Each structure stands twice: as C-alpha cells, then as structure tokens.
Homo-oligomer: A and B are copies of this chain.
Amino acid sequence: MDTRRQEKGAQLKLLFEPRSVAVIGASSKKGKIGYEILRNIVDGQFTGPIYPINPHEKAILDLKVYPSIIDVPTIVDTCIITVPPQAVPQVLLECGRKKVKGAVVISAGFGEIGNFALEKKVLESALECGIRLIGPNCAGIINTENRLYATIESRIASGSIAFITQSGALGGAVLAWAREQGMGFSKFISYGNRSDVNEAELLEYLLEDQQTKVIAVYIEGLRDGRRFLSTAQRVGMVKPVLAIKSGSSKEGSRATLSHTGALAGSDKIYDGAFHQAGIIRADDVDDLLDMAKTLSSQPPSGGGRIGVVTNSGGPGVMVVDALAKLGLKANEPSAETKDRLAFLPDRCSRNNPIDLTVETDPDYYERTLRILADSDDFDALVVVYVPPAFLKSEPISEAVLRARRAASKPFVACFMAGDLVREGVKVLESGGIPNLPTPKRAAKAVWALVERDRYLKSVA
C-alpha cells in the first residue's frame, strides 16, 4: 500500500474515532435533523467534546454554540454537516481552515436529485482541503466503541458486527430491528452518495478495526466494482463479509438508477463475482442479520454434515428439508454414535433428526449434544426446541450452553415459539449461541457457516 493510501486510511480512522466532534447546522428545534443528531450524540454520551455550530444560536442542549467551526477553541477531528446543500462547499472550506480531518455530510439535494454540479463542487472542496468525506445524502455514522452516535437513527448497543449501507433509511430500519432483537454493532456507516469515501475504503478500515468481527453491507450499485471485489476478497480472509445487493431485477435496476445515479448491473454477474470474492449474499434484511449474528458468534463449519436434535418431529423434519434445499446434508449418525445414544428411551428417534420427543428434559439435550459434538459424524449442530405452553425453556438453554462450552463445533439454535421461548432465547444468545426463529432461517444460518469455511479453504 502506498504512503498516500496509508495516510488516507489513517485519516478515515480518525473520522470514526475523533477526539472531538462538531455538528455544523445544529438546531434547537426538535424534529430538525440538526437537533436530533446533536441530541443523539449528547444522549449517547460521546467520550470527547461536542461542539454545536450555528451563527444564530447561543446554547443547545446545555452546550455552548459557536458561530462557525473557525471559532471552536480546540482541535476538531470530525464534523457532522447538516446545513442546506448549497452551503456545504463553503462549510467544507471553513473546516479545511480549521484542519478538520473528516466530514460526514447528512445534507441531501445532490446527485440523487440530479444536482451533479453541486456534488462535484462538494467533492472538490473536500479534496482541496484534504478532508475525507462520508456522504453526502447519508444518515450518519455510529462507533459504539467511543459512543459516537452521529446519526438520527436508533442507538444500537456495542457488539462485533459492522454495518455499512448505501441507503440511510434501510440502515435505520436495520438498526431498529437489530436493537429490538438485542443485537450489538461495532460500527454503523451510512455512506450515501459516496462522493469521496467508497465501500472499498470502508472495508479496509473495518479490516483493521479490532472491534469488528463481521462486516455486513447493503449495496445498491458499485462505482468501482473491481476494487470493491478485490478488497472484499482480501478482507474476507480475515473477517466474513455479507451483502445485500439490491436493484438486482430489471425493474429494480432501473429504479436504482433514478434513485442514486449508480449503475446496478446484472444480478447474475454480481452473484458470480460475490461468490468468487467470498462475499456471502443475503436476500433480505432478516437474512442479513441472521447470518451476521451467526458468523459473529460461531466458528466456520468444517463441512456440510449437519446433526439436528429436536424435541418434536415436525420442526426437526422442516430443518432437514431446508438444509437439503441449501445443499447441506442431515446424514445418519454412525453405528457407534447410535450406540452411545442408547441411553435415550425407546420413544426417541436416534436417526437424524434425533427426536428427544416432547417429554424430554435438559439432561437428554446435554448428553445427546455432547455425544454428537464429540463424534466425527457431523460438522455443525442445529438444536430445535418447541416447548409446550406450560414449560419454561431456560433450563434447556442452559443445557445447550453447557454442551456448547465442551465443544469446538458450531451450534445454531431454533427455539420456536415466540413469547413462550423469549427468556430461553435470551439465555442462549447471551451465552453465545444464535437463535433463529424458524427452521428455514436456522438452516440458512448454518449454510453461512459452511460457506465461510468453503471460502477460507479456497484461499488457504
């Protein structure tokens, strides 16, 4: 990597990990973007100084307001810009005079509505001043490590998943959804029109980011596809990269073109290129989050032989069906393993899915899972549990966690009864086992672990 590139990378790191942050266009009016972002940064308890900038205000949220970025007494590393679009170039030049390192431009009204000349001017201003720029037309950034919630979107908890998104609104929906599920993120980056910083550079930053274990991306169209793919390929050797690629249909592609001015390209071409670059493709937002949480908590699956343990035949068979559709195999246990399962009562099935039946108990789950994890028969295990309405699921979760701790293979859970298993799912997930609420989603999560292994072996 050349020096110029290293320098740009270091600057980008500072943009996400600033010593101080300013909101240019801060407002005292609730509901205004310039107010809501400032409030989010303040309420989020950012670890450094926060400077609201507005020539017409004295104080907002008990913070002293400065008329211009020039007037701020200390160093400012990152500016969040929410001024009207035509004012952005001038604001960037002022940031340049202040030696600001990075700017996140929330303001919209550029290329996305055909205003390409103004967007060009914004980029030129940033380049002229040596400022790295995220956006414009973006929903902001989050770094949970230093509690920087520079966005109008939900404040997500800390975790190991980084999410970068071309669509700000979709990013917001994903954040809200992830928060509702109790998931945590390391970084959230809405990159909007990506005048300057693009997907490939963001991947490079996240490759180095210690907090990030899995990278999830929502892409509408790529500007420099070749660089993105080669970067993803390299990043993927260290951390899994997942992506939703939208605009994949003819109609969707046309719509993307009018929405961001980016070329969406043919779906099949993306499919092949993503596969080769080790990017695991998701086909919906739940799928993206399911696979991200699974890859962030489980090791890759050494192969596609999957053991299924259940307390109910039907859901177990549904998992087996869904695995088969994804090319995975719920093979029979070996004779030796069946022998070791002889302790199970006659009513239980020792074929795959291994059915402990409705009258099961935590001990049966633990012993069975330990035997399967010990055996050479399976590469990963799916644990299905559907409790009768009057039984708690927490003791089963504890048993599954005990078996997991003694094992090196990945476990994926499918506890399946909505609010009846809510507490059990909390126990499982806080213990590091992902729960997927339906058979098909559980199978897809396991598939991601197999795909991850396949890619790592292909580049080894």
Contacts and interface: CB of A to CB of B under 8 A. Distances in A.
B259 A313 contact: yes
Interface in A303-326: 311-318, 320-325
Interface string A131-169: 000000000000000000000111000000000011111
A450 interface: no
A287 B170 CA distance: 22
Interface in A274-312: 283-287, 311-312
Contact of A283 (B108, B283, B390, B440): B440
A386 B169 contact: yes
A355 interface: yes
A107 interface: no
A329 B258 CA distance: 18
Given A420-B176, A438-B286, A247 B169 contact: no
A255 B347 contact: no
A390 B31 contact: yes
Contacts of A329: 251
B251 A320 contact: yes
A284 B438 CA distance: 7
A358 interface: yes
- For this chain, the copies found in one complex come to 2
Interface string A170-193: 101100111111000000000000
A220 interface: yes
Interface in A49-87: none
Nearest to A32: B390
A313 B439 contact: no
A231 interface: no
Interface residues of A, number: 87
A316 B247 CA distance: 10
A417 interface: yes
A349 B390 CA distance: 52
Contacts of A287: 440
A181 B255 CA distance: 32
Among all A-B residue pairs, the 9 with the closest Cβ atoms = A167-B314, A249-B324, A169-B312, A259-B313, A180-B418, A284-B440, A176-B417, A170-B314, A252-B321
17 contacts: A36-B389, A109-B347, A113-B346, A152-B390, A168-B312, A170-B416, A172-B386, A218-B314, A247-B317, A247-B321, A249-B321, A249-B325, A251-B330, A255-B313, A259-B349, A260-B313, A284-B438
Given A169-B315, A176-B389, 13 more contacts: A169-B313, A169-B358, A169-B388, A170-B314, A173-B315, A173-B420, A176-B419, A246-B314, A246-B318, A251-B320, A256-B317, A284-B441, A285-B438
